[in-house]
Amino acid sequence: MELFAGGGGLAMAVHRAGFRPLLVNEIVKHACETLRINAAEPRGEVERIPEPGERWPLIEGDVRGIDFGYLWDRVDLLAGGPPCQPFSLGGVAKGDEDKRNMFPAMFRAIREIQPKAVICENVQGLLRPSFRPYFDYIERELRLPFEEREEGVSWREHDEVLRVRLAEESTDSKQRYDVITTKVNAADYGVPQIRNRIIIVAFRSDLGVDVERFKVAIRPQYSEMALIRSMLDGSYWERHSDVPNHVRRFVMARLPDVLPVDDGKPPWRTLRDAIKGLDGQRRLPRVPWDRLDRREYGLGGFVDHIGWPDARIYPGHTPNELDRPAKTVKAGVHGVPGGESVLLTDDRVPESEDGTPSGYRHRYMTVRETARVMTFPDDWKLAGPRGEQMRQLGNAVPVALGEFFARAIAAALDEAESRR
């Protein structure tokens, strides 16, 4: 079951990992439309379990108004990324006092369905010193989600109750969960993007999941040092033989002189890798400079690969570089500080134009390029105008990251089942 599904990143990832969606929920209009276009259909008023192969049953609206009881003991994995704005540096950072904090809704869902496992993704802002006490409380509440917080009781008072109950260790093991919180950089898991997040996974205690084995299974898989090594030994440039020599020199000039130790991992994937195509994708065509005009030309048959005018770079608002993972995709359009939606190209600035610090031309990334950075497949269509499409991508979980963790969860559950 998927809550806060947004544009479908985590829901798609979990489905790819072999889980059959019994229910997805989202409240935002354009995100709901995206889900309907691609994989879901409104569930309606009738509570039912879909048959294998059916489209995902979608409930559009506020999660707090949904009755999940009909799914009691039917759900292997409850997935969702509660809205991160209360805790992110880009939001107002009110934390638990923010009405957008949806962790209580996640805990209510757990109490109503008793899933075997839970996965949540959120920003690392939850680990900031100002929020750390509340995050520790979230972890304890996830360990004992059936110890419900009564109305009028502050979270600090409830936290004291949870501490006592956890120390007693007398709770029914079906109502306790073993919790693993992992700080991740999506680039370490094959995503062509620097994206620092936390992923919280919980297994129901009665299942006997080997938590330590799971921790080993979710260790980083890709390496920045391996990317540097591939550039220095030439294997990266062999893969991108069409890169102009002046660009290669520009990149190589900033690398260390000494070849890093081989750590046995594959290299980080770069923005150039994403545009060329990962895992069987076709190369995205170049966006002509005379077509930065907001018009859909259907370049190469790709949708949403549309040039956009007026991109700027300046101190503090620097562009993505092709031969690095992209910066974190954020839920904004153009005005997001940092230059996350701007791309530095291989084309030199003409002498007739004002120069840039790099000497290379820049433009806005297209929605399709941004979707590649989020490891969304090219046939996943995003609904709404450009701003809404970018917002859905910025709020999503990269599909490759979510799929990696979902597969690890599935393997851990299967292994535990085989021992029972």
Domain harbouring 162, CATH code: 3.40.50.150
Task: Clarify whether residues 67 and 114 are in a common domain.
Answer: yes
Task: Clarify whether residues 282 and 410 are in a common domain.
Answer: no
Residue 331: pLDDT band (50, 70, 90) is confident
Task: Clarify whether residues 186 and 278 are in a common domain.
Answer: no
Range of the domain at 137: 2-220+396-419
For residues 346-351, average pLDDT: 89
CA atoms within 13 A on the CB side of 250: 18
Task: Clarify whether residues 216 and 230 are in a common domain.
Answer: no
Task: Clarify whether residues 370 and 257 are in a common domain.
Answer: yes
Task: Clarify whether residues 299 and 197 are in a common domain.
Answer: no
Residue 390 lies in a domain: no
**pLDDT value at residue 170:** 78
Task: Clarify whether residues 304 and 406 are in a common domain.
Answer: no
- Taking each helix axis from N to C end, the angle separating 224-233 and 245-252, rounded to the nearest 10 degrees, works out to 130
Give the helix, strand, coil percentages of the chain, each rounded to 5.
Answer: 40, 15, 50
Give the number of other Cβ atoms within 10 Å of residue 170's Cβ.
7
Residue 315 lies in a domain: yes
Strands 342-348 and 360-364: antiparallel
How far CA 108 is from CA of 43, 69, 410, in Å, comes to 20, 10, 23
Name the average pLDDT for the chain. Answer: 92
Task: Clarify whether residues 359 and 340 are in a common domain.
Answer: yes
Residue 411 lies in a domain: yes
Buried b (16+ CB within 10 A) or exposed e, 364-393: bbbbbbbbbbbbbebebebbbebebbbbbb
Residue 130: pLDDT band (50, 70, 90) is confident
Per the structure, the count of domains in the chain is 2
Task: Clarify whether residues 157 and 99 are in a common domain.
Answer: yes
- Hey, what's the torsion of the CAs at 32, 38, 41, 47, to 10 degrees? -90
120 labelled catalytic: no
Q: Pick the catalytic residue: 3, 78, 84, 299?
A: 84
* H/E segment holding residue 332: none
**pLDDT value at residue 91:** 44
